[in-house]
Amino acid sequence: MVNPMHVQLPLSRRQLLRSLLGIGAWLYAGVPRRAAAQAPTEEPFDFSKPLIQAPDSPQRWPLFRQQLADWRDQARQSSHYCDVRYRDEAVAWARSSFSSCFVMLYDAALFDHETGQYRVEEFLKQAQCDFGGFDNVILWHAYPRLGADDRNQFDFYRDMPGSLDGLREVVRQCHQRGVRALIVYKPWDVGTRRETVSDVDALADIVHATEADGVYLDTMPLAPDGLRLALDRVRPGLVLEGEGDLPLAYIHDHHMSWAQHFEDSRVPGVLRNKWYERRHMMHQTARWNRDHLPQLHTAWMNGSGMVVWENVFGSWVGWSARDRAVLRAMVSIQRRFASLFSGEGWTPLVHTEAPDVYATLWEASGVRLWTLVNRADRPMSGAILKVPAAEGMQYVDVVAGREIFPRVDGDMVTLEGAIARRGIAGFVAGNHASLGANFSSFLDAQRAIHAGAEEAIDVPQRPVMLRDPGQSPVYRMHRLPAGMVVIPAATIRIRVQLRTRECGFYGNEMNRDELYANFHKPQVFERSVALAGYAIDLTPVTNAQYAEFLRLSRYQPRHPENFLKHWTDRNPPIGKEDHPVVYVGLEDARAYAAWAGKLLPTEEQWQYAAQGPSALTYPWGGAMEPGRCNGGETGTTTSVTAFPDGRSPFGCYDLCGNTWEWTESERTDGRTRFCMIRGGSYYSAQDSHWYMDGGPQPTDFAAKFLLMWPGLDRCATIGFRCVAQVENV
């Protein structure tokens, strides 16, 4: 999520970690002593930071490079660093896995909720157009839905379309297009149903069943004890990637890591872990940012990768056209010259001829590649680099995809070109043999990418659309179905509170500053609503009522997974006939309402029926009181009329606790569908604030429930009631 969790390490690991993060007083002070003596008043370089910030003064760059090399040599020697896992060809794919996509498994771009089928090929083809393609995908599943009932994170994978077999097919289709796939581990999920085996064994089983390529470690900088060995027993080539700053002590067996919240210096700095182990892949990410150029710059200057993450747990944070074009140009170069970016020929901060333009040199096997960034908010053109001449070299602007013909000045040549404001550039020098086959075709593709680059930075908000619930019969008062109460027409000022969670609010109102300032706190919305008169069920629909619907209508859901999971042979649990029906999805609830000549209530209709004209905090008054609702004391649902003292001002039962209730307030932003559910339930997951809201809730509380697919949307804690349209009330 947001903050990496603390991981308790065994004593021997802690000692090793301490030795690597403080290999003597010189580590922080910027060894060696001879260098410190040369510039005693200068700020020392800090090699303990995940991104080692560079000095502003070009005069200090040679010293910076030397101390980087000295630090690396001594750190590797002191830890007796062993790179045997990086020499394993089975995991060689990780060192060139530059572009990573964090994708929600139920994102409409990947999953068609109408057919219940994944759209892997279409998703990856679109990614090729938009971002230059992905090298790996992180298959996200449970959060922010986890905790609605007692299903755990592993259950969420099992309850995806097709279960683990369906997920394995997703992975196989990714492999067919050369894309690797990672599943996710959430260590904080300890308050839902527990497995009969350890989390490590459960993860290894799912990796084996799905043929995934590794595990992404949510909130963790490194894997829990035993996971590395468990994955090794599954098969070779599996990787671990943590969300937090990976300690040096674990680079040897974690082939990838996220570079999140790594603030770069004005002069581009150096990623510590990438410098320490050149074959280690890091992925820059800043998911709430609309401008990704700072992270693109860092990745370009460090030979590292990027995370593409536009659907942030249900909040749309799209990439701009320009950022997409920069990434397309960048990753195609990184893939072609992957051996340079994972090799030993890395020279940070070589001299340039243009102000605010910085360069890194990568060289090996007769090829020199300079990656450059323009930190200025203005374009640069003209002389950019002056480099040693070499016989028989071809010089290419590899971003623009064109050969250049440098000015020769003795034993030096001057490379000229143009860099857009805050843009990137790249120059390659090599001969026909060293540049490799099909180099001309590669340049043609680069020219096409460069021609499509745009200056647009802002991305319009995706529209939020409200589903039209349609019409139902209009009832006269004397023909009103039994068990309903009439709510007179009213114009009210309605107040709704939602908890600030990463899935956002009604639409795209949330921004990064708002999120971090108010995380897990209530956010209040107010609006005026004119309600026509309507009738609402006095109780939620019961098991017995739903059984009658099935008997008479012969309803069969399109996707039957987990439909009435707690029933036997389409018969309710004995003794729970008058309990609210659960394990019904939104479509199942709508089917019942249509059969009964009714509708689901909008959330405004639901709230007014619950709080009445006085806008009560709870249906019975201003405070939570014992004996008024099912707050989970029995660990399950109760009869819909078990709490007569908890009725609302209009006489409705169970509008607080027992079960959440579906409403007709379904929305979509084109990538995520969600429904506002109301009332709270008897169930509340424990021990983590990352879980979805649980327990009884006030009348004005709404939960944004992301709609995944029916097998997951059907929960043990969500039921429904209906409304009807009435005449002249």
- Lowest average pLDDT, out of 6-20, 410-424, 661-675, 681-695, goes to 6-20
Bond before 224 cis per omega within 30 degrees: no
Beta carbons within 8 Å of 85's beta carbon, 6+ residues apart: 91, 252, 253, 255
Better pLDDT: 534 or 686: 534
Structure confidence at residue 457 (pLDDT): 52
Residue 688: CB atoms within 10 Å: 18
Q: Determine the average pLDDT of the residues in 710-725.
A: 97
DSSP 8-state secondary structure symbol assigned to residue 477: G
Enter the tokens of residue 415. 């490379």
Enter the tokens of residue 503. 């899935």
pLDDT in tens, 57-102: 999 999 999 999 999 999 999 999 999 999 999 999 999 999 999 9
Band the pLDDT of 471: cuts 50, 70, 90.
Answer: confident
Can you state the angle between helices 321-336 and 293-302, rounded to 10 degrees?
10
Secondary structure of residue 568 in the 3-state scheme: strand
Beta carbons within 8 Å of 670's beta carbon, 6+ residues apart: 108, 316, 462, 463
Q: Which of 691, 676, 683 is nearest to 657 (CA)?
A: 683
Cβ atoms 254, 222 nearer than 8 A = yes
Cβ atoms 530, 491 nearer than 8 A = yes
Q: Determine the average pLDDT of the residues in 243-266.
A: 95
Q: How far apart are CA 27 and CA 469, in angstroms?
A: 65
Q: How far apart are CA 375 and CA 396, in angstroms?
A: 22
Q: How far apart are CA 664 and CA 516, in angstroms?
A: 31
Q: Which of 678, 715, 696, 720 is nearest to 151 (CA)?
A: 715
Q: Which residues pair with 271 in a beta bridge?
A: 51
Q: How far apart are CA 189 and CA 483, in angstroms?
A: 41
Q: How far apart are CA 660 and CA 25, in angstroms?
A: 58
Structure confidence at residue 468 (pLDDT): 80
Better pLDDT: 465 or 259: 259
Better pLDDT: 463 or 145: 145
Structure confidence at residue 44 (pLDDT): 81
Secondary structure of residue 441 in the 3-state scheme: helix
Structure confidence at residue 464 (pLDDT): 77
Q: Is 5's pLDDT higher than 50?
A: no
Cβ atoms 547, 608 nearer than 8 A = no
Q: Determine the average pLDDT of the residues in 410-427.
A: 95
Residue 235: CB atoms within 10 Å: 12
Band the pLDDT of 535: cuts 50, 70, 90.
Answer: very high
Structure confidence at residue 517 (pLDDT): 74
Secondary structure of residue 440 in the 3-state scheme: helix
pLDDT in tens, 553-602: 999 999 999 999 999 999 999 999 999 999 999 999 999 999 999 999 99
Structure confidence at residue 21 (pLDDT): 39
Secondary structure in 3-state letters for 103-166:
EECCCCCCEECCCCEECHHHHHHHHHHHHCCCCEEEEECCCCCCCCCCCCHHHHHHCCCCHHHH
pTM exceeds 0.75, yes or no: yes
- Residue in the structure block whose two tokens are 């919305």: 525
- Residue in the structure block whose two tokens are 């969300």: 243
Cβ atoms 253, 228 nearer than 8 A = yes
Better pLDDT: 25 or 152: 152
- Residue in the structure block whose two tokens are 């399109």: 558
Band the pLDDT of 509: cuts 50, 70, 90.
Answer: low
Q: How far apart are CA 307 and CA 511, in angstroms?
A: 19
Structure confidence at residue 489 (pLDDT): 95
Specify the length of the chain in residues: 729
Beta strand pairing call for 305-308 and 99-104: parallel
Better pLDDT: 511 or 154: 154
DSSP 8-state secondary structure symbol assigned to residue 483: T
Beta carbons within 8 Å of 482's beta carbon, 6+ residues apart: none
Q: How far apart are CA 44 and CA 41, in angstroms?
A: 9
What are the angstrom distances between the C-alpha of 527 and each of 323, 341, 464?
Answer: 37, 54, 17
Q: Is 429's pLDDT higher than 80?
A: yes
Average pLDDT, the chain: 91
Domains recognised in the chain with CATH numbers: 11-78 (no CATH), 465-726 (3.90.1580.10)
Q: How far apart are CA 157 and CA 184, in angstroms?
A: 10
Structure confidence at residue 13 (pLDDT): 40
Structure confidence at residue 12 (pLDDT): 40
Q: Determine the average pLDDT of the residues in 405-416.
A: 93
State which H helix or E strand residue 339 sits in: helix 338-341
Can you state the angle between helices 199-210 and 227-234, rounded to 10 degrees?
30
Secondary structure of residue 372 in the 3-state scheme: strand
Structure confidence at residue 28 (pLDDT): 33
Structure confidence at residue 687 (pLDDT): 85
Give percent of the chain above pLDDT 70.
92
Beta carbons within 8 Å of 146's beta carbon, 6+ residues apart: 152, 153, 156, 186, 189, 192, 685, 690, 691, 692
Cβ atoms 541, 654 nearer than 8 A = no
Beta carbons within 8 Å of 509's beta carbon, 6+ residues apart: none
Q: Determine the average pLDDT of the residues in 463-482.
A: 82
Q: Is 346's pLDDT higher than 80?
A: yes
Rounded to the nearest 5°, which phi and psi values hold at 490?
A: -160, 150
| Strand residue runs (E) in 206-327 | 214-217, 239-242, 256-260, 270-271, 281-285, 305-308, 311-312, 315-316
Structure confidence at residue 469 (pLDDT): 80
Q: Please give the torsion angle defined by the CA atoms of residues 129, 260, 211 and 204, in that order, rounded to the nearest 10 degrees.
A: -170
Q: Is 498's pLDDT higher than 70?
A: yes
Please, what's the largest Cα pairwise distance for the chain?
A: 102
Q: How far apart are CA 137 and CA 100, in angstroms?
A: 6
- Lowest average pLDDT, out of 246-250, 407-411, 416-420, goes to 407-411
| 502-516, 607-621, 685-699: range with highest mean pLDDT | 607-621
Bond before 463 cis per omega within 30 degrees: no
Q: Determine the average pLDDT of the residues in 638-647.
A: 98
**∠ CA 84-85-89 to the nearest 5 degrees?**
105
Q: Determine the average pLDDT of the residues in 217-240.
A: 97
Please give the distance of CA 660 from its chain centroid, rounded to a whole number: 26
pLDDT in tens, 540-554: 999 999 999 999 999
pLDDT in tens, 456-469: 555 556 667 777 88
Q: How far apart are CA 255 and CA 266, in angstroms?
A: 28
pLDDT in tens, 295-326: 999 999 999 999 999 999 998 899 999 999 99
- Residue in the structure block whose two tokens are 């502003």: 56
Cβ atoms 55, 64 nearer than 8 A = yes
Q: Which of 663, 673, 665 is nearest to 719 (CA)?
A: 663
Number of H helices, E strands in the chain: 20, 35
Secondary structure of residue 145 in the 3-state scheme: coil
Tell me the one-letter amino acid at 100.
Answer: S
Q: Determine the average pLDDT of the residues in 468-492.
A: 89
Mark 476-510 as b/e (b = at least 16 C-beta within 10 Å): eeeeeeeebeebeeeebebebebbbbbbbbbebeb
Band the pLDDT of 476: cuts 50, 70, 90.
Answer: confident
Q: Is 719's pLDDT higher than 50?
A: yes
Q: Is 684's pLDDT higher than 70?
A: yes
- Lowest average pLDDT, out of 40-54, 374-388, 565-579, goes to 40-54
Measured between its terminal Cα atoms, the distance across the chain in Å is 49
**∠ CA 128-132-134 to the nearest 5 degrees?**
75
Q: Determine the average pLDDT of the residues in 418-442.
A: 95
